Chains A and B, each alone.
Chain A
Amino acid sequence: MKKYINKIKGLFLLVLVLATNACGDDYLEEVDRYSIDSESYFNSETDYYNALVGAYDLLQSTYLNVILGEIASDNTFCGGESATDVVSWQQIDDMIHTPVNSELKNLWDWMYAGVNRTNFILEFQDKTEFDGKEIIIGEARFLRAYYYFELVKWFGEVPLKETRFNLGDETSLPRSPVADVYALIEADLTYAINNLNYTAPQVGRATKGSAQALLGKAYLYQNKFLEATKVLDQLITEGPYDLVSDYDTIFENDNENNIESVFEVQYSDAEGAGFECLQCSEGNVAVGFNGIRNYTGPTFDSGFSFNVPTQEVVDEFEDGDLRKDVAILDIVAWAAANNATYGEGHEHTGYYNRKYIARQGDLNTGDQNLTNPNNYRAIRFADVLLMAAEAYNRGEISDSKAQEYLNRVRARAFGAANDVTSSGATLTDAIAHERRVELVGEGHRFFDLVRTGRGAEIDGFTANKNEVFPIPLEEIQFSNGNWTQNTNY
């Protein structure tokens, strides 16, 4: 009987102890963790502003679009240390790139990351009300248009969504026709134009002028010349922008966000960066990559000798064009004159892209090649004038208006009037020539050639193929048959 009682006692003890120890599943709910997550955000004006900063952040990753836009074109060779230094770039330079290209994959990923960050704001745009919200929404829509414009430029038809993408969209959402992508870009920019001012609340944020310029560019890329002239004219006449009188000063770090900058991507040398996350850098990564290999001497800092100008583009400059020595650094002559030394990389031409090579005088925060603070002058007023000129000419709207805008750019370039008086197709060629030399090194050349049907001027270019870049193979695979590859890739 004693045993029996013991057993009861034992069982009682067991139940008691187990019950004490067993915390139940509530125990799992009490975790000490950060509770705010993506779905519980947007509770104040500050939240919207902070998310907008996040949406701007991806602009910095467009260093890749800029450097590749040049490398892909007939302006530069890929360069670098050796033929296998960044293979993905080398292939694009030689127009032998395939859907397997990690850099095109990066470009796709980063631009869609930008789209998602803007869509994050726009998805929650009605959650909390405050004064001045239309500014933030306007900027978010400008940025979405900016990212989608890059995507449609590079890849043509792309999946389109106005809220964040979800898992499964890749197998269900189609690649939208180019016209639909542009329709959203136009709608976003129109909203931005109507809600933003010519002066932004902070330097670096998009303005009404930024939106007008980008809309004009989007029209031009679609050959909507009349619409382009309207919006660009409005910008030229009403906007606060003008040409900087001395071309030589435009690209220096002490002349950022100048009167010619209609939109400028902001960079800084204040934060370190590493190769493992180039899109995380606050610096302009392209500048270090463009830089002079193993340079010692005045004015410049060294870099990786990518994106080196070809003799052909150097020869494109007319005699007396003051822009040549600003845009192109003749390293042989410079080294001789300044007692500087340098190394020779792959495809060494003797020239460097002087607008965007590393300069001395910044903080050299490590890795100093990735943290150059040079802002990227994304849309310059000169670009706006040349776009307007092109639209007037190619749209057969007014060659005299076209000449006026073109010659305004040329007058600065030569230090005095150096007018083009031709018209029609000759004027078209003159404007194209002017775009090339005015904007060399700024990432526009490849797309200017392609959109005007002149892609074949690039070595290795295959018509009906290389006008757009291949959708990254991984994306085709993710889509599980939903997306087809671009023609001939």
Chain B
Amino acid sequence: MKHTLFKIIALFFIAYSGAQNIDISGNVQDATGLPIPGANIIIKDSNRGTTTDFDGNFTLSGVTNGTTISVSFIGYITKDIVITNNYKLNILLKEDLAMLDEVVVVGYGTQKKKDVTGAVSIINAATLEDLKPIDAAQALQGTSAGVSVTSPSGSPGGNFNILIRGVSSNGDNGPLVIIDGYAGDLNSINPSDIETFSVLKDAQAAIYGIQGANGVVLVTTKSGKKNSAAKINYDAYTGIQETTRELPYLNATEYALILNESYAANGQALPYPDVSGLGTGTDWQSELFEQAPITSHNLSVTGGGEKSTYYFGGSVLEQDGIIASDKSNFNRANAKIKLGFDLSEKLKFTTSANYFNNNRKTIGENALGTPLFNALNYAPTYSLDQQDTSGFLGNEVINPLSQIANTYNEYSGNSIEGTFQLEYEAFEGFKVTSRIGLKSYDDKSKTFAPIVQYGSGKVFNNDRSSVTQTQNTNNSYTWDTFATYNKLFNDKHNTTFTLGTSAQRFWGDNLSGTGFDVQNNSWEFADISLANGLSEAKSTSSYIYDSRLSSYFGRIQYDYDSKYLLSAMVRRDGSSDFAPNNRIDYFYSATAGWKISDEAFLKDSDVINFLKLRASYGTLGNNVGDDLYRALLSGEATYVLDGSLVTGTASGRVPNADASWETAEKLDIGLDINLFNNQLEIVADYFIEDRNDLLIENFPISGILGGGAPGAGLPTVNAGTTRNKGLELFLNYKNSVSDDFSYGLSYNVTKIDGEVTAVSNGNISEGGSFSVGQPAIARMEVGQPIGYFYGLKTNGIFQNQAEVDAHPSQSGLGTAASPGDIRFVDVNGDGEITLDDRTNIGKAQADYIMGLNFSFNYKNFDFSAYMYAELGKETVRNYERDQPNVNRLSLYLDRWTGEGTSNSVPRATVGATSNKLFSDFYVEDSSFLRMQNIQLGYSLPNAVTEKLGISKFRIYTKVNNAFTLTKYRGYDPAATNGDAIGGGIDYGFYPISRQFILGLNLSI
């Protein structure tokens, strides 16, 4: 050891002794003649170098004649130049279409893209620039293979769920989001402040241990560049939004006729004996939907000096809803600062802070009895301000416009988050980094329920006004310290060691209270301080939480001659969420890569520029649930004694002493290929993930344990296993045909097969509801996809009594069938149709997800289009109230009215039928293709901008969600609440809006 060390030191002295120094200077430009600021000039085999300034110029003193300098910049092919007395260099860098030298953040370190051995998707600022997403999560949709982004709502400020390689867990499937090193959330980050996303999809994420099983999204925010003058960017857009769909519904005359028919069918008097004057009546949907504005302003200043960098960003977004814009709207403001300082040659300090403010008003959505649900079910014969006082439409359907008028709420939240990071390079190759990332999010909300009457029996009637106010604080920090040591042994053996520790804490509290008898029954007076009415029931509540992780991790990355790549990592996590004797676990993974294109037989290939085979395998955890191991006294224990409510004590959820985290076992085999001068990039992956010890919430256990008590609940048990396997393919083609014309095409597709492979004790977990009072419709069961829809299978419509008689009796469902009723399949073949004949009739998770992106630049015009598709999935049509008099889809115009009239839509009758039971009649194919974004831009030519003293001026027009191709009848085939069991059930999703945008980019 000692000898080796001396040899190495001796080598250095030898290198120094041959020095004959000269000074050189030069300029670095790209192919279009524009200077490249911030390019790196490094003297090979030394650690000396410099970077170019704002104008692309550099000087470098003390260069030995005959040595090689290496000129590099991200996105360009590195150029090596031998110094032969040419003191003035003009260097032209070519754009690297393969981006192989692009640096990828992989967790506690970075790697060159060409050396990455895990499955990683990268989305960079250019994509974000194109998409201009409202929420950063949207930028991942359709742009990265294996990643899908879903939303339960198109309402302003609605949340997004990210899924990486499908649904493995019945609990939390959201990935870990790490922003500049700390655990955070995407919604608080201004998308324009983001430099790159790295999405770790495979076992490489094992370095994040117990938090890594759902994948990891690493976000790097923008920084300034050293030695560059201040660059000011201003982006703004404004636009109009409208609904993407209105559902075809019956008009007043059609409605009245069908109602008459359904009453006549049951021998009852006609509700509309005279339909002649009804006309088309009120179109409740068009009354609800409106056009609404959206605007955004974004300003950033970035730059740097010799030893410092800075980035300042500020943004404001205002979005109104396409339903009731004064009751459904969102605005957001962000302020961001990021600073970097070289405190000394060895010590670097980086700090960032992000302030986030958001305000939101909402109307009820995606549930029975919400305004959109009511708009679909309210009678078109009623006038705009008419209440259903007779209860004709049942107790749960009311005038949607009145309902919105009586909806009052507001929400606002603020967060401050950021990092402090110190990086110390003790000696060459050895770096110690310590950083702490903090986030504090406080929010408050207020909801006012006025006194209101919609007619007798309506469940929305409220006799006593109340105002509920809630405040939450949520805090977290991530404190990481890690050291990396990189060393090249014997020119070929390149090794990097990483060793570190991490402490994380998530804690917060909640306080909520309700005041009664709001003065003047008015929103203006709606505040607990002014609402003096008391309630006998407890009207305040609170909770606290505190969850901690204490972790150690280590990693070895090794490559031989940069050709054979290996890495291995281990992480040890302790989580306070579990019982003291059961809170420590170890997670491991190993990855390997082989750059086949570096082998002699491929080295000179004209076709294959790059070919790498890689594989990874390892275990990762999913830390879900806390305090599962003990019974807190959180049960409801309220009874009435002496005529008043008395609150006592009872156990909450049934405990599970053995509860632990979920463990994922992931295998990934991938190929990275670049062909035809790196114009075509192909990334293909095959993956299998087994998710073991699934923590199943509300795990069905015997009722004798008392889980059915008020405020109790079933335990969360590690009781299942799922397997997801699939294929990902990513293709990216770029071609610069001439200086004036270039184009690109990118396509990705992911095929996922998910299956539940074990549930302990043969249990079936259920969730998701349909209509009212029907059994749960989504299940987790061995051999089936997680959360598949469980219902009756149909086989057309009974055309006549003979067909009814020939079929097994359906009276076991509640009513015997008549001609015109749905014919259900006797799945279990027992000669009668009962609920036991329910079977798999669909699932919410898509078989295929894909994205397609096309762009071209012609002279000063640029065009881009992003499409997204999901194929092989179903959604449950559940926005039809099961009540005889409500309005319905135009679909029912094609109902069965006699033999041979319809074999798909049952007859209209108010009599008892089994047609309303959950069956595949209510399950629709919701495969879709959506044109998410089409954009056309025009930039002023350089000659003009130079005269104006600016570097860029671009205007663009854009349409978001221009169209959606689907057979699905509802508002949005893409919408789902994201639940593994019970997702994909449509109560009338708030539709996503189509947006017509006009925007401006200005850089100085």
Contact = CB atoms under 8 A, between A and B. Distances in A.
A368 B705 contact: no
B345 to A, nearest CB: 13
A17 B464 contact: no
Given A32-B546, A85-B772, A203-B641, A10 B432 contact: yes
A308 to B, nearest CB: 15
B113 interface: no
A51 B638 contact: no
A295 B574 CA distance: 60
Given A56-B639, A82-B882, A294-B456, A113 B707 contact: yes
A478 B456 CA distance: 44
Interface stretch (A114-122, A430-438, A441-449): A114-122
A364 B461 contact: yes
Contacts of A266: 639-641
Interface stretch (B295-303, B400-408, B912-920): B912-920
Given A54-B649, A280-B710, A37 B632 contact: yes
B677 interface: no
A380 B848 CA distance: 65
A22 B501 contact: yes
A85 B537 CA distance: 31
Interface string A285-322: 00000010111100001111000000000000000000
Nearest to A346: B912
Interface stretch (B274-282, B358-366, B475-483, B868-876): B475-483
A10 B762 contact: no
Contacts of B702: 165, 169-170, 475, 478-479
Contacts of B16: none
A22 B640 CA distance: 52
A299 B762 CA distance: 52
B544 A38 contact: no
B89 interface: no
A339 interface: no
A364 B640 contact: no
A82 B916 contact: yes
Contacts of A9: 426
A161 B706 CA distance: 13
Contacts of A165: 702, 704-706
Interface residues of A, number: 118
Interface in A38-53: 38-39, 41, 47, 49-53
Given A20-B481, A23-B503, A53-B647, A87 B641 contact: no
Interface in B623-677: 627, 630-633, 635-651, 654-656
A293 to B, nearest CB: 7
B641 A302 contact: no
Interface string A122-148: 000000000000000000000000000
| Most chain A beta carbons < 10 A, residue from B507, B575, B703 | B703
A356 B2 CA distance: 94
A112 B912 contact: no
Contacts of B457: 291, 293-295, 301-303, 369
> What's the dominant secondary structure at chain B's contact region?
loop
B9 interface: yes
A38 B708 contact: no
A295 B456 CA distance: 6
Interface stretch (A97-105, A224-232, A385-393, A402-410): A97-105
Nearest to A268: B640
A98 B838 CA distance: 15
Contact of A41 (B389, B391, B647, B649): B649
Contacts of B709: 54, 57-58, 110, 113-114, 116-117, 279
Contact of B501 (A13, A18, A108, A272): A18
Interface in A243-280: 256, 266-268, 270-272, 277, 279-280
Contact of B648 (A51, A268, A279, A477): A51
B641 A96 contact: no
A14 B432 contact: yes
Contacts of A170: 701-702, 704
Contact of A106 (B700, B708, B711): B708
Contacts of A6: 426-427
A113 B651 CA distance: 10
Interface of A: 1, 3-4, 6-7, 9-10, 13-14, 17-18, 20-25, 27-34, 36-39, 41, 47, 49-54, 56-61, 81-88, 90-91, 96, 98, 100, 102, 105-106, 108-110, 112-117, 120, 159, 161, 164-167, 169-170, 202-205, 256, 266-268, 270-272, 277, 279-280, 282, 291, 293-296, 301-304, 341, 343, 346, 363-369, 472, 474-475, 477-480
Given A57-B648, A87-B835, A282-B640, 5 more contacts: A56-B648, A60-B639, A83-B815, A83-B914, A84-B773
6 contacts: A10-B426, A28-B575, A28-B583, A53-B637, A113-B703, A364-B461
